[in-house]
Structure 1
Amino acid sequence: MILYNITVNVERDAESEWLQWMKSTHIPEVLSTGMFVEHKIFRIMHDSEDTGSNYSVQYFAKDMNHVMSYQHEFFDKHNAVVQQKFPKKLAIFMTLLEEV
């Protein structure tokens, strides 16, 4: 199992809208690609002096081939929508983890 983890810092003034949109629109669109078998979303709990909240959006894939297919076939389109909907409101980085 491969965990495709996306860590997002979202500015507080966009947080509520972003979270609702993620749950109702974006995550279902990512899952509809068939590349992932499960997802989870967590708010990262820590004291922060910055102006945003941090989330971990997790997608689980059967293998690395599914992750690579997602990145090649769907990532650019999905990322463009996120950036257009929330310009300058998000800082995002991705991590791949392998279950051992």
Structure 2
Amino acid sequence: MYKKFQEKGKKMIIYNTTFHIHKDIVDECLEYLKNSYIPKASESGILYSPYLRRILDLRNEEGESFSVQFHTRDIDSLNEWVRKEGGALQQDLIGRYKEKIAGFSTLLEDIELPK
């Protein structure tokens, strides 16, 4: 899935998924993310140190956006998680909330700052 980044080496990365959730299901969906999605995603240990963050955007009255972030050791580990666990978890989320949720994922890498 993320093969083109493999040549950069095995650096720890952050797997970020941004979800936009329709206003009618925000509370219910947040409970699901906190109590089911995030625990299941980190169950194997491939993804760890989860964060759930609200994206502050006053322009959107149709819903709210949230960032779910996990650390993972490297791209190979992330690809393994997507193949073995992530796809089914995403399908469950889409099946549960249908068109009232949309999301996209990005990869982040920490850049060391001078001390």
* TM-score band, normalised by shorter chain: over 0.9
TM-score normalized by the length of structure 1: 0.93
Give 3-state SS (helix, strand or coil) of 1:48's partner: coil
Where in structure 2 are there 5+ consecutive unaligned residues?
1-11
TM-score normalized by the length of structure 2: 0.82
**For each residue in 1:30-64, what CA deviation from the matched residue of structure 2 results, as whole angstroms up to 9, or x when unmatched?**
00022112110100012123401010100111222
Count of paired positions: 100
Of 24, 27, 31, which residue of structure 1 is paired with 2:42?
31
Where in structure 1 are there 5+ consecutive unaligned residues?
none
Distance across 2 between alignment mates of 1:36 and 1:91: 21
**Which structure has the larger Rg over C-alpha atoms?**
2
Higher relative contact order (CA 8 A, sep 6+): 1
Residue equivalent to 1:44:
55
Compute the RMSD of aligned alpha carbons: 1.1
Distance across 1 between alignment mates of 2:70 and 2:48: 8
Residue equivalent to 1:72:
83
